[in-house]
Structures are given as C-alpha cells and as structure tokens.
Structure 1
C-alpha cells in the first residue's frame, strides 16, 4: 500500500509541474480571461482524477475499452502540454540569458527576466493543437479507418497452377478492445470483398482472455475464403500478461481459445505445416507459435518444417517479425514468404508513400511495417487489424493486406 501511495504522489508531482509550466502559455495569452484559466485547470484535474481512479481499480491484464479511455485521455492531456513546455523552456533559456546580459551591462533594476512574448505562446498552442487533434481523430475515427494494402510478388519456382494465387493477411485483432460493432462489420466486409483464395491470420486474437472474443464470434465467422482460413497464435494469446487464480484456469482459457479458432472456421497451426492444393500442384503453409526477440519463444520452426521437401514453395506465418532476422532468413530450408504482425506500427507514425515512413516502432523493430526482401526471401509485416491499450491510430491505419503470387516469366533468348 505504501509503494502505491508513493507512486501516486510522484505522479501527482510530475503532472503538477507539467500543468503549472504549460499553464504559463495560457496565462500569457489570456491574462484577464478568468474562465480560460478555470477551464484549463478543471479539464486537467478531471482527467487526472479519472486516471488515478483507473490506476487504483486496474487489474493486471484487463486491457478493456475502459482502460483504453484512460490512456486516450492521458495522451490528450499530456502530449500537447509537453510540446508547449518545449517552446516555453526554450524561451525561458533565452529570457535568462537576456536578463543576465542586460543586468550586468546596464546595471538595470527591476525584474531580472523579460516578460514572456505572446508570439511564443501562440506558436506553442498552435503546434500543440496538431497532436491534440490527431489523437482525437485517431480515437474517434482512425482506429476503424481500414485500408487495403496490395502487393504482387514474383517467384521463379512458384508452381504454374498457383500463378495469380491471392491471399489476404490480417493480424492483431485484439478483440477485447473493440467497441463499435457496425464499424467492425465494415472491416469484415472489406476483407471478404478482396475475394482472396485464402485468409491468413497471424496472431493476437485477444488481449489476454478467450472470453474477449465471445461477443464477436458471429461477426468474424462471416469471413470467407474458398481455399481455407488459417491462423497462428500471438504473444497475447497465451494469457501470459495477467495473473490467473491457478494454472488450471490458465489452461482452461487456452483450451477455450483453441475452440474459438475452430468456431471461427480457422485452422490453427501450432508448429506444424500443411499443403494447400490447386490442381495437381501444392504449396506448403507453415505456422509457428509465437517466437519473438524479448518475448515468449514457443515457436519451433525446425519442428514445423521437418516433414517438408527441400524444394517445395513455402509460406510461413510467424507473429513476431524479429523471428525473420533471428532464424527464418538463414533457415536451412528456403522459405519464400514470411507473414508477421505484432508491431501495430505502434499505432502512431507518419507515412507518405515515396516520401516518409516513420513510427516509434522503428526504434525497436528494423522491419516494422510493410514488405521487405532479404537474401531472396520476402517478409511482410501487417500493421494490425485492431488496436491495443491506446484506443486509436494516428497515421498508422488498420490494415488488410492482399498479396498476389505470380510466377516470374522467363524472357526468351534470341
């Protein structure tokens, strides 16, 4: 209890300093408007009381929509204020230097520091409004702003029968975070509109508990693919991030999750492989359990591929993209295409095709979103269908990936 009180006290001190400092910009711009000052402090106090209440009642692993609201309110309040502080701090350094210079050079009496300039406060508030509006858009609209990303990949050794084969990849559903059935159903319809031969889901069906998927089973059962739907587990699917009353309870949750995959019509691959047949040819689909650098490593690629022929065409589903660099690209058998998710693109970033592609996720994962090619092997990292913790997406939209496989045409020799 004492440690909790200490943490709360430090939190209050920290946010109090942030609020007091950023308040200087409002005080400079609105010196006589009392209602602005009251509104500023009322907004801040309401948010922090809500955050403290949520913190005291929070259960480990309960990443529910209510928890998401707490995170979004905290972001809405703190991030713009931190930007304001950056402006004011820079101005204060200049004020200190200027005040010191004139005091020494002219023996000036009176206030040591020059007054704050309204222009700096105006600029600070204007720039701070950008992330504020961006976060607001991300929470209200961005988290369901599905977009379809299409890529065509060519291979020398793709069986002719699979020339034009299409697959739709979705990843990181995180069903425990959903809060709008109508918008979710739109996403499901968009997946079906792609008319792909197969649908491949690359892990994290839930945040922590199989029960999170119960309200959405009928919705996701509507997914259709003529050649099958296949899935793997992600790091959140094991229930490792919450405290269970017993080992048996955790095991029961895991068994229920397996049943949910079956009810959804997905064939769950757990360190195993199977052939996908088309005409007289086939390609091998491999699915491993989660294997991530710094995360749980339940995946066993050698076991999953042990029965496969050396020269067969292989597609691997592996939740965490770090698996590609650590094991897959140098694996003894050539794996043509690996499909991953996990990063969500941190649900925040800037992407302007051909110009900018950045997210904080890039600081942790060199391959964090989109298509990569190395040593003749392809990796695609899906940005995620759902969202986790922060109930929004800013600049990194939920993704439905469509990959078309083509057999590379041989140029005739003359």
Structure 2
C-alpha cells in the first residue's frame, strides 16, 4: 500500500511529459505550415494602405497583421473660437495699452499692441475697428476697408462701426472685392506669393477638402494683370470638384477653371485646376535684407514650430539666391505663419508640393511640404 502513491506519481509525470511533447509537436508543425516569405510579401502589400489590422490567408490559415497606415483625410473643425480666461486677460491688457497709445496718437505702438490682440482673437471687433481708424487717419484706405470689413462681419449692429463705414465711403468707395482672403485674418497680402498661401489655407478650411491627401503645384503663370496658379489635387476618395472650385474662386476673388475632364474609371480621386489672382504681382517689391539668413530662418522656424529637415541653395541670375526647403508642420496655418514671417525678406516663394502624413511613431497628422524661395543678394 505504501508504494501506490509513488507509482501514481510516476504515471502522472509520464503522462505530463507526453502531453508537453505533443503540444510542442503541434506548435512546430503549425509553424512549419506557414510560408513566412509569403507572409512578408503580403505584409508589404498592406504597408501603404489604411488599416488598423487585416486578416490574410496564408497556407489555409488566417493571420492578422497590423501595419502603419497612410492618412486618408482630416477632421475639419470650423466651430467658433473659444477663448480661455488667460486669453481674455491677455486681450484685455493689450487692448488697454493699444487704447492708451491711440489716445496719444502713437499709432505705431498702438498697432503693435492691437496685433498682439489679433494673435489670440483674429476677428476682435474692437481691435479691428481701431486698426481701421488708424489706417484711415494715415490715408491707407485699403487697410482701413480690410479691417473694418472684419469688424462689421463680427459685430454688424455696432453703431460706431456703421458710422465709420459711412464716413469711409465719402473718401474711398467700398471695394467690390477684397484684396485679402475672406476668413483668413492676416495682414493684406502684398504679392501673389503671399496670397496663394492664404488661398490654400482657406481651401483647407472648407469641408470639401477633408479628403485631400496631396497637392502638386506648377510655377506661377502671368497673363496680363493676373497671376494663375495651377495644381493637381489627389484625394483619398471621390473629389468634390464643384465645391473645391467654388471655394478657390471665393478665396482668390478671381476665376477658377477645372482642367481635368471626366475621369477614367477609378480616377475620380484626381483634380487638375487653376485659379486666378487678379491685379497682383508675384514678387514683393519692397524686399528687406536679412543680415544672417540661416540664423533668421532657424529662429522663425522655432517661433512658429515648423521642422525644416533639408534645404538646397543655388545662386540664380540677377543676384538672387534660390532655396528649396523641406518643411513639416502640424497644420497649414502654421506653415503660413512661418512664411508670413519670412515673406518680407523674400522676392517670391511658392509651393512645389504638399502631402498629408503621420508624424513618425504616432497618429498625429502633419503636412510635409516642399517650398521654393528666392532671396535678394546684396
């Protein structure tokens, strides 16, 4: 009787070892059944497709692979700007300072303060009204209309704004078309280079642009008093031709022409289009010299939080420096912020191409852009 437990234990261990050996054999056989080379080829096929994970058949077995995907579009949020308590305090302080300088007729300082207000609330009606009044007193009626139009759109029933508009009409007729781009609260563009970026920024705020994944641009074409910008738009799904053309026409205050005809089957995601920028030169006529160009570009890139990964430079004719930048930015507005700081020092600049991408190692969207800039050499 005393040997029975030992015998039972030996039998149990023998059965356990046999079971483990069987499991090992099954695993080995299952692994041998998978064609790993074929699996790798299948994985490569899905690498550039949108996928959170896909099941593929390999050797009669279903295997799940998860690969990083390419972005297929953006969520466009055009809801009204919500100001934090800190923003409101900041605006209040700088509006008080602007009013103080304005009352003393120190207009340059008043403009500096009100521009700080616009950084937090671009359509601040009081700030835009003050900027319009200053411009009118300085007989800069274009700037006056630009700012009072924004103020009127924001606060249409304001009696002071209404009164100012009527007075401004007596010295300068209200323009039928604005030089600036509606909905883009920046200083009036001084060149077609600047306005092109404002137009693209406005296009990318339109819901019809949500599935745009890349755009390629041709060089500027001048026809009479107009500058034309031609581009090829790639979308992840069917392109909304009519809506995109309408958005470009409204933003540019010029004509827009769809160049691509009815697409072949399967190519409804492509659109070739050109838009007009009327009565504006490509180049900036009042270029400022930059003492240390490389350091200056590095500084404004840090200020606006864009990444310049590469650049190429070459001397062009007429003492100009042609530079191409590879730039990544979290949104197109940020890229335009960078270029507006660069613009006073550039003869002209243009987009070569732009592509929606994921920030490495995350699902955060960025625009990867190639920009060409021409600087004046001393």
The TM-score range, normalised by the shorter chain, is under 0.3
> Using CA pairs below 8 Å that are at least 6 residues apart, which structure has the higher relative contact order?
1
- Which structure: greater strand fraction? 2
Q: TM-score, normalised by structure 2?
A: 0.26
Q: TM-score, normalised by structure 1?
A: 0.24
